Chains A and B, each alone.
Chain A
Amino acid sequence: MPQIPTNWSGIFTDSERKQSYLRRVRELDKNIGSFLSFNLDLTGSETTEKGFLGGLPIAVKDNIAVSDQPLTCGSRILENLVSPYTATAVQRLEDAGAVVVGKTNLDEFGMGSSNENSALGTTVNPWDYNRVPGGSSGGSAAAVAAGLVPLALGSDTGGSVRQPANFCGVYGLKPTYGSVSRFGLTAYASSLEVIGTLTRDIDLMETAFEVMSGIDEYDQSSVGSEVSGVPDSDASRVVMLSVDNNMLDNPVARAYKETGEALRAEGYSVSEISLPTLDLVVPAYYTIATAEASANLARFNGIRYGYAPDFSENPSDLMKKARHEGFGREVKLRILLGTYVLRSGFQDQYYGRAQKIRTLIKNELASVFSTADLLLMPVFPTQAFSKGDSEMDDYKQRIADVFTCLANLSGLPALSLPVGVENGLPTGVQFMAPSFGEKRLFKVARNLQDRFPLQIPPNYLDIGGLV
């Protein structure tokens, strides 16, 4: 088991260190807004620091349940909800000694790529306060990049861990579907999403993944140790997705090319491939994701959770008003689209066809991995874009998910890693592996560490080392 960073120890046993940590987080996060809630006065935390993650402060995206802590999903409709239970992935980290210190901001219900769709706060990029941190796990990425916590959990439905990790210059892991229990993750698109991790430290990422993963009786789609991972020892054949020059901004294209060169220098064989189905990825992804969202978000009806209007004539009126006043525009759009593609008469044309295209994409990737060990791809066509950027409106952000949502449609694991800084902003790439090939991903990230050392935003350090 890899070692975890030791400079975070003592926060929960040394009261002076605890106060100092609290002060520094509040001071630094004032500018970033990564946390929706932050609380060090947790029952029992005074006596923790047992277990091999003993006393490690972690942040959790606010769509993942932690008992007695808020579970807002960045939405007005759940603004005052307190979770009555803890997600399995979080529970396993807590059992190993980690302590949840706060819940991080996100695009409402995980729907967005900028964090601008949060109804409850603004999060900015620690590298440049005028830019977005990415999304939807933008709060988790910003908190890790700024060194407020060494590890944060996010959820990845179409790139929501990897894209913000890429924008903020940290590592982001989207595990194989089923390897980490989704119990306690507020459902958005159940067949696509998975809980992932964001860190500055690849060893810690591997440790956290090993702790969280495994079968869970509360998640029927979780997979246990009977499914062995693919071997990592001979993972030397990399295929690089051939990307048209006009698809990527120059700094992203340069970083992508340099990564290919670095892999060759490290002894990997690198060849290029194209994916004929690439143009179909975004329409198929959004058809399936919105269909599942429309079903999953039906539960928010003003009766069982959170917000309800002051007055309503009848139950139907209650539902409509609660959803009208409680949901933001992007959420309403996706529910609307999902309802449409599932409507009688339209289902075969949209949802049924998207599911068949999903088969096509899975088959194509299976063919790729029959002769390759890793697939190298860009993460997002641009670096972190400006807040309210009219050049990157909501529609263009959705189209730009093309490189990330491939892993969600196929269920395959993918890891985004930072490979440099240009114009004051991080650039990065992602690797994808066959199912349960996470070890390959950690290994290639380690092999590139010396060539692309992780950089830290100016004025931010590991707080754990400062106090």
Chain B
Amino acid sequence: MTQVQDEWSITAELARLELDENEALILAREAERMRELFLTMSRADVEKLETTAHALEMNNRIRPDSVVSFNNVESLIEASPEQEDNFFLIPNVL
């Protein structure tokens, strides 16, 4: 495995993406091409600029700190792959 592939393999692990061997090769190649495109941003002079995280400049709008119930809880639970009573079911942690 090359250093580049190794870097993308670490990233896949962080993203909880399991990739088979062929898929990992293709995605590393495509991702590397995009990373090179991202690097073209380095020529912009941005030193004195603030970041923009959001299109609109707005303040936080807060609501009262009170419980609001969703009226269709059963269907939320039913939408999960596995459930038991009112809980999502997952494999054993240990």
- A residues sitting closer than 8 Å to B (CB atoms) are 81-82, 84-85, 177-178, 191-192, 217, 220-221, 223, 277, 279-280, 282-284, 286-287, 294, 298, 301-308, 312-324, 327, 329, 332-333, 335-341, 343, 349-350, 352-360, 362, 394-395, 398-399, 408-412, 435
Q: A323-B17, A339-B14 are in contact. Are A318 and B91 (CB under 8 A)?
A: yes
Q: Roughly how many angstroms separate A358 CA and B41 CA in the complex, as a whole number?
A: 11
B45 to A, closest residue via Cβ: A360
Q: Which of B39-59 contact A (CB under 8 A)?
A: 40-42, 44, 46, 49-56, 58
Residues on A with C-beta less than 8 A from B90 are 303, 315, 318
On whether the beta carbons of A286 and B52 are closer than 8 Å, the reply is no
On whether the beta carbons of B56 and A410 are closer than 8 Å, the reply is no
Residues on B with C-beta less than 8 A from A303 are 80-81, 88, 90
Instruction: Let me know if B18 is at the binding interface, CB within 8 A.
Output: yes
Residues on B with C-beta less than 8 A from A312 are 91
On whether the beta carbons of B91 and A84 are closer than 8 Å, the reply is no
Instruction: Let me know if B75 is at the binding interface, CB within 8 A.
Output: yes
Q: A84-B72, A178-B55, A314-B93 are in contact. Are A336 and B16 (CB under 8 A)?
A: no
B10 to chain A, nearest CB (A): 9
A95 to chain B, nearest CB (A): 17
On whether the beta carbons of A178 and B30 are closer than 8 Å, the reply is no
Q: Which of B45-94 contact A (CB under 8 A)?
A: 46, 49-56, 58, 60-61, 63, 70, 72, 75-76, 79-82, 88, 90-93
Q: Roughly how many angstroms separate A341 CA and B88 CA in the complex, as a whole number?
A: 32
The contact of B80 among A277, A305, A319, A356, by CB within 8 Å, is A305
A106 to chain B, nearest CB (A): 20
On whether the beta carbons of B12 and A321 are closer than 8 Å, the reply is no
On whether the beta carbons of A353 and B44 are closer than 8 Å, the reply is yes
Residues on A with C-beta less than 8 A from B79 are 81-82, 84, 304-306
The contact of A283 among B12, B41, B92, by CB within 8 Å, is B41
**Secondary structure type dominating chain A contacts:** helix
On whether the beta carbons of A283 and B38 are closer than 8 Å, the reply is yes
Q: Roughly how many angstroms separate A85 CA and B71 CA in the complex, as a whole number?
A: 9
Q: Roughly how many angstroms separate A298 CA and B70 CA in the complex, as a whole number?
A: 22
Residues on A with C-beta less than 8 A from B8 are 336, 340
- B residues sitting closer than 8 Å to A (CB atoms) are 7-8, 11-12, 14-20, 23, 26-27, 30-31, 33-35, 37-38, 40-42, 44, 46, 49-56, 58, 60-61, 63, 70, 72, 75-76, 79-82, 88, 90-93
B40 to chain A, nearest CB (A): 5
Q: Roughly how many angstroms separate A139 CA and B75 CA in the complex, as a whole number?
A: 27
On whether the beta carbons of A177 and B56 are closer than 8 Å, the reply is yes
Residues on B with C-beta less than 8 A from A282 are 37
B12 to chain A, nearest CB (A): 6
On whether the beta carbons of B16 and A323 are closer than 8 Å, the reply is yes
Q: Roughly how many angstroms separate A306 CA and B81 CA in the complex, as a whole number?
A: 6
A340 to B, closest residue via Cβ: B11
Residues on B with C-beta less than 8 A from A317 are 91
The contact of B52 among A336, A355, A412, by CB within 8 Å, is A355
On whether the beta carbons of A287 and B41 are closer than 8 Å, the reply is yes
On whether the beta carbons of A359 and B54 are closer than 8 Å, the reply is no
Q: Roughly how many angstroms separate A340 CA and B60 CA in the complex, as a whole number?
A: 29
Residues on B with C-beta less than 8 A from A316 are 16
On whether the beta carbons of A313 and B58 are closer than 8 Å, the reply is no
On whether the beta carbons of A353 and B93 are closer than 8 Å, the reply is no
On whether the beta carbons of A280 and B53 are closer than 8 Å, the reply is no
Residues on B with C-beta less than 8 A from A217 are 63
Residues on A with C-beta less than 8 A from B15 are 294, 335-336, 338-339
B33 to A, closest residue via Cβ: A395
Q: Roughly how many angstroms separate A307 CA and B90 CA in the complex, as a whole number?
A: 13
The contact of A223 among B56, B60, B75, by CB within 8 Å, is B56
Q: Roughly how many angstroms separate A178 CA and B38 CA in the complex, as a whole number?
A: 27
Q: Roughly how many angstroms separate A306 CA and B15 CA in the complex, as a whole number?
A: 19
The contact of A357 among B11, B20, B41, B61, by CB within 8 Å, is B41
